[in-house]
Amino acid sequence: MNEIDGSYLEGGGQIIRTTIALSAITRTPVHLYNIRAGREKPGLRPQHIEGIKAAAQMCTADVSGLDPGSTEIHFTPQALHGGDFVIDIKTAGSVTLVMQTLIPVALHTTEPVHIIVRGGTAVPFSPTSEYFEHVLLTFLARMGIEMRVTTKKHGFYPAGGGEISVSIQPGAMRSLDLVERGSLERIEVVSVAHVDLRHARVAERMLAGFKNIIPEIETQYRYVKAASVGCFISSRALFQNSSIGADELGRRGRRAEDVGKDAATALQRAISGEGAIDRWMVDQIIPFVALAARATGRGSNIKIPELSNHARTNMWVVSSFLQVGFRAENNILECYLKE
């Protein structure tokens, strides 16, 4: 039984997601306690519960403590299997955060996995489905992961109601050596707003704000139907060897132009640095490079912009399950297999 303290360092939901994924993959029973102890609303939230339920289905796990607000669970996995799964968070809980638990698990099944997830696709404190599809999948593809993500319907806070479709082929993973991102080739920007915001030209105005900071971009915009009114802008800088993203959500009382400007400023800051990945990708890629080291015996080296507490927390969880270590020197993050 692996004992994981959910209040360690950053102490958020990432501990839950990585713990459950690696428990299922390694078939290691886990006791997770002090779940989100430092948060305003501690314990499990709906998106955590639905992610754990789905992972439990994929590995026929016995689970106890799976209740809203619970600060302690026991998770005992068995054999992994693929198939079709439908997950409905029933709130604006992030669909992409749920998938952070399930993608690593699906890669280790013996048959393809298809997952429908319903909830929030562009909500605070989580990657948008656009970032997930166009930035995260870029790196996973480099690691030999065959995966497809389609946003069927957008979901904004507070109602959610969005839906993504994810197809994953299990298979061998490769390590990731990404120190030089290469030259900048182009910048792509997508602006998305609810149909009720069309009359105010919100999608176009977010793009205009972005162009005030970075004028040379490839743009597209669209208006979508959703259960709640919302908007966001998603940008990515495509380099010869890499991709860097920056998204920004709109909110009531905030000028659309300012949403675009803030996204452009964040992307410009990332471009002006030397990282081969953006700061949001650092913690997301950690479980994958660790699993690749476990599978291949080869480590990974990645040029990062910074090492956040979020990333350090994820490294700690990963090292609690796998015989891997991490080093960060001169902004090169190395994941290596321990002897």
**Distance between CA atoms of residues 204 and 198, nearest Å:** 9
Nearest to 100 by CA among 43, 184, 168: 168
Q: Can 310 be counted among the known catalytic residues? A: yes
Buried b (16+ CB within 10 A) or exposed e, 147-170: bebebeebbbbeebbbbbebebeb
Please give the structure tokens belonging to residue 279. Answer: 């700061």
The answer to whether 137 and 164 are in contact (CB under 8 A) is no
Q: What element of type H or E holds 239?
A: strand 231-239
Closest by alpha carbon to 286, among 313, 323, 255? 313
Q: Which of 58, 74, 50, 60 is nearest to 1 (CA)?
A: 74
For the record, the structure tokens of 156 come out as: 């904004």
Bridge partners of 334, per DSSP, are 301, 327
Whether the Cβ atoms of residue 291 and residue 173 lie closer than 8 Å to each other:
yes
Stretch (H or E) spanning 3: strand 2-5
User: Token pair of 210, please?
Assistant: 């972005």
| Cα-trace Rg, the chain | 19
Phi (first) and psi of residue 204, to 5 degrees: -65, -40
Residue 304: how many CA atoms within 13 Å on its side-chain side?
25
Q: Which of 295, 210, 320, 201 is nearest to 257 (CA)?
A: 210
- Comparing C-alpha atoms, which of 284, 81, 70, 88 is closest to residue 170? 81
Just list the catalytic residues: 310
